[in-house]
Amino acid sequence: MKITFLGTGAGIPAKHRNVSSLALHLDNKHSSIWLFDCGEATQHKILYTPIKTRKIEKIFITHLHGDHIFGLPGLLGSRSFQGAETPLTIYGPPGIKEFIETSLRVSTTYLHYPLTIEEIKEGGVLFTNDDFTVSCAPLLHGITCYGYRVEQQDFLGPLLMEKVGEAGIPNGPHLQKLKRGETITLPDGRSFEGKDFIGPSKKGKIVTILGDTRYTEASIRLARDADLLVHESTFAVGDEALAFDYFHSTAVHAAEIAKAANVRKLILNHISSRYQKDAVDQLLEGAKAVFSHTFVAEDLASFSL
């Protein structure tokens, strides 16, 4: 999997940071794209990436502040104009359905693909399939706001061909069944259970993407043992009072969450425009003093898992 940041700023767009959006590139048979938030001009940023809007299958909205949703109507319309016919599902807090439907109706924008809007009423598992499980939990912001946890299903271990040979199992289509863990019966009457010929499974990746929030234990639960945590860092050390008043976090708060949750990598996101150049470096240094595997998101930067 890979993450591409389409907007890493807080509140309003700046020359070097657009408002919030990021894309999660999935390692599945469809090479699907999931978006998390869709601030103003998200589709403009997409033009500078290999992302195709028809590949976007799901959009997860953390909350309804404008810097996280104002890009939605344009993106949805462009996806249709570009010929997409595949379904798209949007998840978000109550109110997201009204916002989207009103924007499309007033602008007389008609979509030529199925659009499903799922409003989240409470935390928990949103869905699970053969590849991923996605869950969410409410955070601590001025309005209803969610964080998301994406868990890739574990991969079956490799078929142990040496053991297959020792058992005298010939080559053939039945090896695929064996690899899936199924029981096979050969023409000579012998039966074998797949689990006896499969090596150790490989653990899937875990990505946690949080919306705007004060420091909260819910963030730790969502991020537990994640390979990658994307955490808002609107303010720096010394601006704790501002962070609290505006229901945001500092870079150190993000680092403390990462450390407590035992994550592998932390990416600081949602950076206030008050921090430029050297100030961003200081923000990073403050976080790294608590959690060393910390990086700062930049627009159009990508991180692989």
The residues that are catalytic are 67
| H runs (alpha helix) in the chain | 42-46, 66-69, 72-81, 96-106, 161-166, 174-179, 217-223, 240-245, 251-261, 278-288
Sequence letter at residue 122: E
Sequence letter at residue 249: S
221 Rama sector, left if φ>0, alpha if ψ -120 to 50, beta otherwise:
alpha
The CA-to-CA distance between both ends of the chain, in Å, stands at 6
> Could you give phi then psi for residue 13, rounded to 5 degrees?
-70, 145
